[in-house]
Amino acid sequence: MVSTRSARRTATTVALAVTALLAVGLVGEPRAQAATTTSTLRIGTSVQGRALVAIHRSAPGATKRVLVIGVIHGNEKAGWWVIERLKRWDVPANVDLWLIPSINPDGMAANTRTNAHKVDLNRNFPQSWVYAGKGTSKYSGPSAGSEPETRAVMAFVKAHPPRTTVVLHQPLFGVDSYHAKSITLVQALARETQLPVKSFACSSTCHGTLTGWHNAYTPGRAVTIEFGASASTWRLSVVAAGIRKVGSAY
Ligand SMILES: [Zn+2]
């Protein structure tokens, strides 16, 4: 017959073993919290028929909607690897997280800045749009919002207005303060991503950019972050962690 004391000791041992196993699981890479659910939404189709998707990760009651766009210029792929991290890591309890790995999959496949119509999507949004650059890698497109990728992002942002949006680029290395809607947010992102604050004023004035359109026509704040020409795994992780932290705190 097992005494009460020995049964209690056995129960304690089992509980300690379970605690130890949980602790082992928590070491290293942060894991998704149990309450976080992940789903994928198709938001549109590229010129060449590739799917444009947004990944939604959130727990019940999360109030701060954060959108991260990994790639808009197809030859600037570092942001893709930021999204890969944010797809796996813990989501802060207050963050309603949306991840768009790429709005330019055709450009990624061809390793071009532009989409398959040779349009720079970051000159195609209907805010301060001008017709410019035909035949160059900064072609505005024939009209504002002419591209299906542009329209997919606009529809998504209108339907799910983010509080904070971060758009990732290369190679200017910094957090953009040009026409910042919230300089406090820009400075916090720079501090937490360990990147400098810089003003990326295009050539002189930015025309038809995603962040310009977002900041003009939605309540949320959009910020451009530029990696250097290349990005180490350390840098990718620091930037992913910084976006997650600032998205939760601001
Ligand atoms: Zn870019």
- Can you give the CATH number for the domain in which 191 is found? 3.40.630.10
User: pTM value?
Assistant: 0.86
What value does the CA radius of gyration of the chain take, rounded to a whole number of Å? 21
Q: How far is the CA of 121 from the centre of ligand 1 (A)?
A: 10
Per-residue pLDDT, 201: 87
The answer to whether position 18 is within a domain reads no
The answer to whether position 205 is within a domain reads yes
**What does pLDDT average to over the chain?**
90
The answer to whether position 1 is within a domain reads no
The answer to whether position 3 is within a domain reads no
Structural domain that includes position 117: 36-249
The answer to whether position 129 is within a domain reads yes
Q: How far is the CA of 16 from the centre of ligand 1 (A)?
A: 51
Q: Give pLDDT tens digits for 72-123.
A: 999 999 999 999 999 999 999 999 999 999 999 999 999 999 999 999 999 9
The answer to whether position 14 is within a domain reads no
Counting the structural domains of the chain, the total is 1
Backbone phi and psi for residue 64, each to the nearest 5 degrees, phi listed first: -95, 105
Q: In 3D, which of 181, 173, 145 has the Cα closest to residue 232?
A: 173
66-77 burial string, b = 16+ CB within 10 Å, else e? bbbbbbbbbbbb
Binned at pLDDT 50, 70 and 90, residue 34 comes out as low
Q: How far is the CA of 105 from the centre of ligand 1 (A)?
A: 14
The answer to whether position 176 is within a domain reads yes
Q: What is the mean pLDDT of residues 196-216?
A: 93
The answer to whether position 12 is within a domain reads no
